[in-house]
Structure 1
């Protein structure tokens, strides 16, 4: 199904052809939603941009284009300012659009013409440690982008590239052998692993011999020592159990959990190949990748300015002691994703502090012949009410389980005041839906590059730009249908959009298919969040101005169809953000 926006762009193309005008290669003919609906529903600045190329008067060209356009769905066109074309859609066209949407399982969202194989790398916590508040952004942003991309028709593979191999395991294994509390491990394995890691880490700072002992344990693990490997396997196993408890609460899942350890056997051959190709060379005993010398120093991730001079800043792929690091593993991971999953795009949902690493990684991948589009989907920081990075009173990052518990508790407090007539069991279930939804929506309503303040009181409020407001909007829609005394056929027959409130709601519903694909332009879930808030506001305005159950005939059916579509789009849109909707609140 074509969106109205696509229809208008096609008509504009046809008008340009009818006038015999030649478009320069790559010239955009764009129609966008009007910034102010008082002036129309859509607008285009094509005449202004094209007139400049053709050395014509933009208003004259706009008038010619309007004259040449043959669009049955338009009530009128208006030329504004220096050459803007404003389009106003007929009420009959809104009626036809709503009639088509009620029979469309995709709610007007087109399937992409050229689906891509997209790998989304997100969440990626370290094992042997509980997830903390810093994992919120990667997990929630990555999950929403995966859901949206799949719905649009792309082939998506999600991978939780967990940190299950590295220097911390020397300390964990030493702590396992010397400090482990078996009862505590059974009760809460992640907390016990975190305790022994912290304890040994503190001892390492005080006693060099313990630091050496931890290093020895790590070497034994890397060399395949049976005892240490068995401890490592147990750590990974119990960690996955603990991590999955969080993912289950968040309703997040992955196609694969291919952690760092998965690529161990590929690292030595990879480095040898890179050395043989001349891509990596020795420097101070380590094997490194240096600049390809194709970029200006300011743009080159393998250069840094020191003492007023640009100097080499290489990527180490094999350390002096012969060991490998996460850079080496990441290169091997790219190879695997290209070869095994035929990835055309690989998205890394990782915080902005890793920007330089990914610039180097992407440069290396390109120099090794990768044609895939690699993108770092970076994000900012979660702040406390004091405007500083969110921390506990002890100065630690809050654990994610505690954050979710607090959100559910805050939601329950609000529901106790507002939700009468619900049983205790219903309130408990609802608190989870609202609390978890509030955390997710707060994350996804902000531009991912921005920092935001974590304020539970605002997050769970029923008023404002919050998940509870949207969830309540859905509940309000469903309550209308619970009050119906007879069944109404929700089809496209007899739909007649007349009142301003009906027009505005129909206009907003029609935009779902236009807005959703644009989320992937810049990979910004907040675009969908903003749309859903606009839809909820349009519905509440419609509901106040246009009685539904008290109306009759085709008017009543039309309004019920508008309500049903609102509920469907809210449920689908929130679902694509990973947020559930309740039937009652």
Structure 2
């Protein structure tokens, strides 16, 4: 069954087409009204159409309304402000849409009208280095966007573009051969490789001969030396095993893990083609792409081969783009990295457009994000001033959550307390990261993110657990609650209606997340959903209500629990039946 917003949008587009036959109907969209006192849904496209036609927007909106029949769905349709169209649903229409959701595995989420293939590039740690707190934003944000796109029915391909090739391997290879501690490697491979790199890097600063030796190790690796390739493969395998362990803790999976090394054989041919096509030219011995035709990049040319013949991130990223388009035929490619790479991706995208104009239909997006700050407002560090390792952060999250669980439920078996602590602790870290506007820095606060009040994961997990407790106390199943609406379903109180209307917006919020690449929209929606449920539950008795109100309210509880669980799953956050 189509949702009310979908039906309203379809009829609105038909009415707009009658008044403005030339209009791009894809721009005519119905979205939740920012302020519920004005209505449930709102359309703003008529104002843009009026501007193009140079007519009064309120007059044009009135002409559209004259051709719009929504009496079966809406109690009111009004022109407001400079030309908004506001729609308020009839309670019966809300109830019918809620009842129809009983048969839907994913309620209130229609399939995207035009599904697309989206590649999401995220996380991308470096081999032989520990994942640190900076990786958490890319990993969690990328995973959430991939989940949202998948829930909307799109084909999603996730790729972890590992940093597994580059100048650092010369020093690592030299360190491995001269300073390796096999016992330390067995205990903690990443820590030992990090020690080797730091040892050799410091020594190279003092000894030019050692720096040259490291450079020769790199040349040998890139030339296919069997010994160096074998060591490099071992470094990569050990690193990936460590990364996979952390990803498992986070519940993050990738379809592909194609590192920089995968594209190395393509790089020289790529540079040669850029030169042959006149897209790059030599400058001070390097091969450089200039952007004389692009004012914002005119003063920032892009080097694709250094004067010593070495390639760089730009070369690899161009080859990666070409491979992804040739292999997966995407409509869109998302790169989830920090704000410092904005210029890099603007350059890479511009160079790629010059090189492969036939791929102009592929949307290239840099989904960038801000930094994590400590409570002192400075970059988040350990007390000693070191970068916070991601695994240490997750360990602390679980230990802090365990302390909270133990204080509240000391009689629970330890295994149960640790299971709850894992779900709560990891969920709290993820949610706090996704809650902020991704383009803003945010302050990392353990107390705030683990709180059972406010806009936090534990608060939403508790809301879900509270609904689960209603069904346990009543000895009821979710299936029985869904089956009950076959005999009719109504909304009687303002609190029931407010909760029901909010539930209908779940799919629209997911669409907004996917369109703007902002999971914080979903965080705020779920927080408001939990608040509306609380007001409903405090005002409307459920188990003590007489029939048919009891069944109707139990179904409202059931569908709220499903939306909470589905929404939190898009954010990568698990739920608990008991907390």
Match of 1:564 in 2: 558
Q: Distance in 1 between matches of 2:318 and 2:50?
A: 49
Whether the aligned pair in 1 keeps the contact of 2:16 and 2:64 (CA below 8 Å) is no
- Pick closer, same or farther for the CA change 1:61–1:275 going to 2, 3 Å: closer
The answer for the alignment partner of 1:21 in structure 2 is 19
1:412 alignment partner, SS class: helix
Q: Give 1:319's aligned residue.
A: 306
- Runs (4+) of structure 1 exceeding 6 A deviation are none
| SS of aligned partner of 1:521 | helix
User: Is contact 1:352-1:380 (8 Å) kept?
Assistant: yes
Q: Give the secondary-structure state (helix, strand or coil) at the position aligned to 1:350.
A: strand
Number of residue pairs aligned between Structure 1 and Structure 2: 570
CA, structure 1 residues 289+84, in 2 after alignment: closer, same or farther (shift >3 Å)?
closer
3-state DSSP of counterpart to 1:422? coil
Deviates more, 1:492-501 or 1:464-473: 492-501
Contact persistence 1:280–1:288 (CA under 8 A)? yes
Tell me, yes or no, if structure 1 residue 280 matches structure 2 residue 280. yes
**How far, CA to CA, are the matches of 1:473 and 1:105 in structure 2?**
21
Q: Deviations over 1:42-83 (max 9, x none)?
A: 234566666664745836963882685343022234454565
Structure 1 match to 2:334: 347
Match of 2:531 among 518, 527, 537: 537
**Counterpart in the other structure of 1:145:** 145
Separation of aligned partners in 2, 1:283 and 1:571: 56
2:36 counterpart residue number: 37
1:515 corresponds to: 509
Is residue 351–residue 380 contact of structure 1 (8 Å, CA) maintained in 2?
yes
Partner of 2:578: 584
CA distance, structure 1, for counterparts of residue 127 and residue 330 of structure 2: 26
Does 2:398 correspond to 1:408?
yes
Evaluate the alpha carbon distance shift between residue 395 and residue 26 of structure 1 in structure 2; reply closer, same or farther with a 3 A threshold: same
Normalised to the residue count of structure 1, the TM-score between the two structures is: 0.93
Distance 1:66 1:560, change over 3 A: farther
Aligned counterparts of 1:60 and 1:279: Cα–Cα separation in 2:
48
Task: After TM superposition, give the deviation of residue 84 of structure 1 in Å.
Answer: 4.5
Show the counterpart of 2:377: 387
Encode CA deviations 1:451-474: one digit per residue, 9 max, x unaligned. Answer: 000111111111111000010011
Question: 1:492-514: CA deviations, max 9, x gaps?
Answer: 32211110110011011101022
Residue 230 of structure 1: CA displacement?
1.3
| TM-score, normalisation: structure 2 | 0.94
| Range 405-414 or range 204-213, more displaced | 204-213
| 1:361 pairs with one of 335, 348, 361 | 348
Q: 1:552 aligns with which of 546, 551, 568?
A: 546
Deviates more, 1:362-371 or 1:397-406: 362-371
- Take 1:145 and 1:435, find their aligned partners in 2: how far apart are those partners? 21
Q: Deviations over 1:376-395 (max 9, x none)?
A: 11100000011011112332
Instruction: Give the Cα separation in 2 of the matches to 1:79 and 1:266.
Output: 58
Within-5 A mapping of 1:11-160: 11-16=11-16, 21-26=19-24, 28-45=27-44, 53=53, 55=55, 58=58, 62=62, 65=65, 68-81=68-81, 84-160=84-160
Alignment of 1:98-497 (within 5 A): 98-291=98-291, 293-296=292-295, 299-300=296-297, 303-304=298-299, 313-369=300-356, 370-371=359-360, 372-419=362-409, 421-485=411-475, 488-491=480-483, 492-493=485-486, 494-497=488-491
For the residues of structure 1 that align with 2:314 and 2:222, how far apart are their CA atoms? 17
> Which string of whole-angstrom CA distances, capped at 9 and with x for unpartnered residues, describes residues 524-544 of structure 1?
111111111111111111110
For the aligned residues, what is the CA RMSD?
2.0
- Give distance in 1, aligned partners of 2:34 and 2:326: 46
Unaligned runs of 5+ in 1: 305-312
Task: Name stretches of at least 5 consecutive residues in structure 2 with no aligned partner.
Answer: none
